[in-house]
Amino acid sequence: MFDLLETIWMCPVCGKMLFKNDALSLQCENHHNFDRARRGAVYLLPPNRKNAGNSGDNPEMVQARRQFLQKGYYSHLLDTLCQALDAYFPENGTLLDAGCGEGYYTKGMRMHLEKQGVSANFYGVDISKTASNYASRADSLINYAVASVFHLPVLDESCDMVVSIFAPYCGEEFQRVLRQDGFFVMAIPSAKHLWELKQAVYDKPYENQVKDYSLDGFQFVKKYECQKYISLDNHEDIQALFEMTPYAYRTSPKEKERLFALDSLTTETAFEVLVYQKVR
């Protein structure tokens, strides 16, 4: 028998609620069992849900991003996300970070609410096993799972807020797991984000395309703008910043040589934090 310690996790096989079976596993009433890494995330990603073999960021990318973020370069984005929490997150609410990575922002948001005296239940999902386990080890008060945002192992209408920070967007799933009138918070890069880095690397730098804010099933509520110049004084941090971006996949060897030659960089960082409410 398993105890009745409920979670919002849903069995990815049959769709039933998962309960804590023991310290290292979850189980549903149909006896589908899912293991949790010691001091790590529970694995809720069936083989047929890996999106054509995509297992998320590789360990090197995860480690580079983790080290970069821990140095506080993007702390202003975390502060802006916390402003949105203060305005729209309810007492005793449940938050899901969909595409949480190594958990820097998830942990930061939870700690912010704790300091404010706001009770909350925090969950995080990422398709990268490496990232999810880093996140879980960094904060034992957050429930993490290895899973895809396109097939969230989360019960219907169980979340008061879903957060997506530079992660893939799956509107149908986010609407499904949000309660009526729940909030969706999305962080995206602004047009001039990392402009000086692009100027240093590319012959023809281009601005980021900021799409129309309308999303099916959601009402746009508010935009927070977040901008700051950051200075990096070593190649390691510059390389980590570059590896965190999609540019790492589509930059030519010649352009990468320019990146490798950089020992210092001051660049603009610019984000938008968009708040939406689920439409009834």
The predicted-structure confidence for 170-187, as pLDDT tens digits, reads as follows 999 999 999 999 999 999
Q: What is the pLDDT of residues 193-208, one digit of tens each?
A: 999 999 999 999 989 9
Measured distance CA(79)–CA(82) in Å, rounded: 5
pLDDT value at residue 24: 79
How confident is the model over 73-77, as a mean pLDDT?
Answer: 98
Compute the average pLDDT of residues 120-139: 95
Identify whether residues 22 and 73 lie together within a single domain: no
Least Cα distance to 96 among 37, 181, 174, 4 occurs for 174
93 and 176: one domain? yes
Q: Total structural domains in the chain?
A: 2
Same domain, 83 and 151: yes
Helix axes 104-115, 75-88, angle to 10 degrees: 50
> What b/e readout covers 208-233, taking b as 16+ CB neighbours within 10 angstroms?
beeeeeebeebeeeeebebeeebebe
The answer to whether 239 and 201 are in contact (CB under 8 A) is no
Domain of 102, in residue numbers: 48-278
In a domain, 270, yes or no: yes
Of the CA atoms within 13 Å of residue 223, those in its CB half-sphere come to 11
| Confidence band, pLDDT 50/70/90 cuts, at residue 191 | very high
Residue 224: give its domain's CATH number. 3.40.50.150
Angle between helices 104-115 and 59-70 (to 10 degrees): 40
pLDDT of residue 278: 97
Within a domain: 22: yes
| CA distance linking residue 231 with residue 194, whole number of Å | 11
pLDDT, residue 49, reads: 61
In a domain, 40, yes or no: no
Confidence (pTM)? 0.93
Find the range with the poorest average confidence among 35-39, 87-91, 209-213. 35-39
3-state secondary structure of 148: coil
